[in-house]
Structure 1
Amino acid sequence: MRIEVEHHSRYRFTEAQARVVQLLRLFPDDTVNQTVVSWRIDVDCDARLRESRDGYGNLIRMLYAEGPLETIGITVSGEVLLAEQPRGIEAEGEPLPPAFYRRTTSLSAADEAVAAFAQAAAGDGEARARLDRLTGALRRRFAIERRDGDGVLSAADAFARERLSPRDLAQLLVGCIRAIDLPARYVSGYSLDGCDRRERPAPHGWAEAFVEGHGWLGLDPSTGAMPGRDHVRVAVALDSAGAAPISGTRIGAGDEQLDVDVAVERLSGEG
């Protein structure tokens, strides 16, 4: 399947900024089931971009823009060719061992309620079956909503609600997987099924769990199943903050507002 993505991010500042520095995790990489056909970035002000990889192995760009800046707009767009995703992705060649992803963070930590739910939902038996049961239980428990902005709830805060965004659910699933004693990581990217098809999709999130002998298994709690041929994988991290599309700092007073608009389409004639 050939997927086209266009992702607009615009920051507006109540006071002009002297300098803006941003870390951009907006660049998909070639993987076992994903080939980047084309990808470009456009920034609507004078800016310098420096390409590198972060500690997780994600492709990143550092953006440096000098002010005065009252607004800055960033657009990434391109096409990705996707094949059927294998049930397990090998960890060979990655910069971090699977055991690293047993670490918890303030965003992904499972409190007592989350841990109890995870253990009950997963049950006993083979690890892949436990993960499938856990993912399905999360999907049945929560209604899916789209929430404006780029923030993601912590696992504990998300569990207390009835309606969650796909990214909230992904972060909660990461906490649940670690609560049943398996390595887990948050995955950011794009998907045709990331939210209600009547809505314009937001950046999507899902989880991966590591199982000995099988590798990294993708799990999408917003569908209750493994990621399909319409998931464009961009970045991985311990939690959503580490895989956020944009993070950074600014020099200047005042507040900021972020507007995000994402379009994800299957190209005509592609099955």
Structure 2
Amino acid sequence: MKLRISHRTVYRYDRPIRNIVQSLRLKPSVFEGQQTQDWKIEVAGGMCGPVFRDGAGDWIEGWTVRGPTQEITVISSGGIETRDMAGVLRGHREMIHPLTYLQTTRATEPAANLRQLADSVAHGDDTLDLAHRLSHAVSDAIAFRPGVTQARTTAAEALEQGEGVCQDHTHALIALARMKDLPARYVSGYLHSSSSGEAQDAAHAWAEIHVGSLGWVGFDAANASCPDDRYVRLGSGLDAPDAAPIRGIGMGAGVENLDVAVQVDEVESFQSQSQSQG
């Protein structure tokens, strides 16, 4: 599938701030399932600094905005060609050992209700089967409902209320997998809607679970599926804050307001898309 993606993030402050430093994880991952075309990242009024690939295989760009300013706009855009890899992350180069992803975080703390859900899942035939069973258990236990949770909602809290968004499903699945001694991590990216319209064009999140010889395999509990060619992978981490596409800090005490717009369009060819824009 050929996709055009535009991701615009605007930070607004009620008073000027300065010396803003941002770490951007906004360039899609490099592996057999996706290949980028003319991808670019822009920060209005910013200067690009260190650029590198970290130990998890994610592309990191450091940007600085000196200010003072009350608005920062970050735009990431480009084309990408994706292939359905049945969720398997094949050809992704990274150096961090999978066992690193057994450690827990505040968002994935193994509370009693999560342990009870994990204990209710039988092991099955093999590790891959177990991972699928865990994902289905989360899909059944947490209904997808936008606006009912917040950025700091934990997996246990989302399970307690029985509803949430993709971030909550992902945190819950990660918690369950780790309780079964399966390394699991949070993945940030994009999802293009299918023809039946059950998914929205949006920034999205899912989990990857390490299942032996297959390596990392993606599981989207929010949509009860494994990532296919509708998914675009950006980067990963222990949880949502660790895998955030944009992280930053600045000098000042202003109140921050955030506005995010993501558009994902399927195109016939990147060449014709470029010509139409010209």
TM-score scaled by structure 1?
A: 0.90
Secondary structure of the 1:213 match is: helix
Structure 2 counterpart of 1:21, which letter?
Answer: V
CA distance in 2, matches of 1:253, 1:128: 48
Q: CA deviation at 1:178?
A: 0.6
How big is the shift at 1:255? 0.9
Report the CA distance between 1:122 and its aligned residue. 4.5
| Cα distance change on mapping 1:148 and 1:11 into 2, 3 Å | farther
Within-5 A mapping of 1:48-127: 48-86=48-86, 88-89=88-89, 93-127=93-127
Alpha-carbon displacement from aligned partner over 1:66-119 (angstroms, at most 9, x marks no partner): 011110111101111011214543588421111111111112222121022023
Deviation at 1:220, TM superposition (A): 0.7
Distance 1:152 1:31, change over 3 A: farther
Aligned counterparts, 1:127-142, within 5 A: 127-142=127-142
- 1:31 CA drift (Å): 0.5
Q: Give the partner amino acid of 1:259.
A: D
- C-alpha separation in 2, matches of 1:122 and 1:238: 25
In 2, Cα distance between equivalents of 1:88 and 1:131:
13
Match of 1:32, SS?
coil
Residue of structure 2 equivalent to 1:28: 28
- Contact kept, 8 Å, 2:42 with 2:76, in 1: the verdict is yes
Aligned to 2:5: 5
C-alpha distance 158-105 of structure 1, shift in aligned 2 (>3 A): same
Shift of 1:193: 4.2
In structure 2, what is the equivalent of residue 176 of structure 1? Answer: 176
Task: Read off the aligned partner of 1:130 and give its amino acid letter.
Answer: L
Moved more, 111-120 or 58-67: 111-120
Alpha-carbon deviation of 1:246?
0.9
State the match for 2:275 in structure 1: none
Distance 1:98 1:218 in 2: 14
- Tell whether 2:253 aligns with 1:253: yes
1:199-210 matched pairs, under 5 angstroms: 201-210=201-210
Match of 2:214 in 1: 214
How far the C-alpha of 1:162 sits from its partner, in A, is 2.7
Change (3 A) 1:178 1:248: same
Q: Deviations over 1:20-46 (max 9, x none)?
A: 111111111321111112211122224
Partners of 1:155 and 1:141 in 2: how far apart?
A: 11
Distance 2:24 2:4 in 1: 19
Q: Secondary structure at the match of 2:16?
A: strand
Q: What SS does the aligned partner of 1:160 have?
A: helix
SS at match of 1:50: strand
Contact 2:10–2:72 (CA under 8 A) maintained in structure 1:
yes
Count of residue pairs the alignment pairs up: 269
Task: Write out the 4+ residue segments of structure 1 that deviate beyond 6 Å after TM superposition.
Answer: none
Q: Deviations over 1:204-263 (max 9, x none)?
A: 100111111221111111111211111101101111111101111110122111111111
- Distance of 2:41 and 2:142 partners within structure 1: 35
Aligned counterpart, 1:234: 234
CA distance in 2, matches of 1:38, 1:150: 34
Partners of 2:264 and 2:148 in 1: CA distance: 17
Task: Judge which range, 205-214 or 144-153, deviates more.
Answer: 144-153
Normalising by structure 2, what TM-score? 0.88
Cα distance change of structure 1 residues 109 and 13 upon mapping to structure 2, 3 Å threshold:
same
- Secondary structure of the residue aligned to 2:263 is strand
Residues in 1 aligned to 2:93 and 2:44: alpha-carbon distance in whole angstroms? 36
Task: After superposing the two structures, state which structure 1 stretch, 81-90 or 129-138, moved more.
Answer: 81-90
1:38 aligns with 2:63: no
